[in-house]
Structure 1
């Protein structure tokens, strides 16, 4: 990513260009990204491709004003961090599902980030939906408090790391460096398999200053200082909700297709 694209990215997420690739600056970037760029899987239900190339991901987020799921969000964010002087390593993870069952290999993409000020390394993840607001210390095995909960990174006997939020396992992280292209096969599976929860459901979710706003199908949930509010939207309000809550302008409503389609 060149300097002009990095500047456009920073302008999009409302974060000034950092003077140094330090820990405080990484925190601001991590939070700012989640406040602006939604976690969403709309492309799957709009019949759109999801190319895992950095320039295509940045174009979708910055130029088209969209979001994405983990491969897209962390793939693009990793490119931005690298352009700003951070040392970024892509890492694969498997998400814990019902009954503690792990998802497929390359189920999730997260980032190991080394800062120029010698802090960290950090686990950065802006692509897991509801997750930490700020990067987590990668080498810490103690509790790490965050506005989203208390996180811990726990060693497994195989040498991986289980990421826990409030003692609930979120995903199992491998430590081997990966390339964006390594995730293409599972990204295709996530988009096409009837067994993929992304294929089965529709979600668009964004962190807010005092909570979160989520549109699942036509169910709008807003949490904040006033508590939790949920309502079913009539059809004529859905596109307005995407625009008003997520700054996403669509010409048609995304809908989950029958799983045998």
Structure 2
């Protein structure tokens, strides 16, 4: 074990404004997920700034804790898994394929999510701090009924074999719309390198199209895409066009805690991205 890990975990908890939980139970998991979602942004800035993305635990902690940055699913959920394990939770990495337009499934290892077991006899839980606009609370992984969340009604539904559910796959739905298809077999962080490479290089990936930085707020969500600042409050969206590089850099600092010395180029490969954060 890294001898610096205990201090890093303390710094991680400080980063997300969370006290160290007394025990690894379901209420603690809910609190940690919410704190993470509201403090650590979902962002793809490294792709547009030409920064390397390293799927190793120390590198992820260095970026998110010491560097006070965010990341996309592989980075956010990869780091969150390290935090949870250090606090006594039992964590398994799971791969998922994101549902796209027309029911098309994305590539294998499109998304990294977490199966989390607690010590209070509840769960297992599906925890996720890396899917953009998604559930605020962990979801009961084995529950096949509707699960109410401040961000919508979620359901985890079995995928039958004729629909491609050969390994006990399940679809995660939000308000009736499928979000991603989850494979329950355990994975390792190295398994996601191909998916991360695809999403940082392919013109077919939503992450290469435009820089996006987004996080949960108490009342909705705030997203910065290029020079457009979008806030969602109680279901109502408000857009502000930012003028000048300094105003954009200030928005990264003030709304996301991200300190940049230069702006990522606007645009990217393919068409301009929409205002919502990409998922994955």
Q: Which among 186, 190, 195 is matched to residue 181 of structure 1?
A: 190
Say if 2:212 is the partner of 1:200.
Answer: no
Per-residue CA distance 1:199-223 (angstroms, 9 max, x = gap): 1122110101111110011110112
Say if 2:19 is the partner of 1:16.
Answer: yes
Q: Which among 191, 197, 202 is matched to residue 200 of structure 2?
A: 191
Per-residue CA distance 1:93-116 (angstroms, 9 max, x = gap): 000111110110000000000001
| 103-112 or 217-226, larger mean C-alpha shift | 217-226
CA contact (8 A) 2:90 2:116 kept: yes
1:70-85 matched pairs, under 5 angstroms? 70-85=73-88
**C-alpha separation in 1, matches of 2:76 and 2:258:** 15
Q: Which among 57, 60, 63 is matched to residue 63 of structure 2?
A: 60
Q: Which among 28, 33, 38 is matched to residue 31 of structure 2?
A: 28
Q: Which among 98, 103, 108 is matched to residue 100 of structure 1?
A: 103
Q: Which residue of 2 aligns with 1:238?
A: 248
Q: Which residue of 1 aligns with 2:123?
A: 120
Q: In the comparison of the two structures, how many residue pairs are matched? A: 260
Say if 2:48 is the partner of 1:38.
Answer: no
Q: Which residue of 1 aligns with 2:172?
A: 163
Per-residue CA distance 1:128-162 (angstroms, 9 max, x = gap): 00011110000000000001000000000122010
Query: 3-state DSSP class of the match of 1:91?
Result: strand
Shift of 1:226: 9.3
**C-alpha separation in 1, matches of 2:236 and 2:68:** 28
Q: Which contiguous aligned blocks of 4+ residues in structure 1 show a shift greater than 6 angstroms?
A: none
Shift of 1:256: 4.4
Query: 3-state DSSP class of the match of 2:96?
Result: strand
**C-alpha separation in 2, matches of 1:87 and 1:224:** 35
Query: 3-state DSSP class of the match of 1:186?
Result: helix
Q: Which among 215, 218, 228 is matched to residue 237 of structure 2?
A: 228
Unaligned runs of 5+ in 1: none
**C-alpha separation in 1, matches of 2:94 and 2:25:** 21
**C-alpha separation in 2, matches of 1:118 and 1:45:** 43
**C-alpha separation in 1, matches of 2:117 and 2:193:** 25
Shift of 1:257: 5.9
Q: Which residue of 2 aligns with 1:254?
A: 264
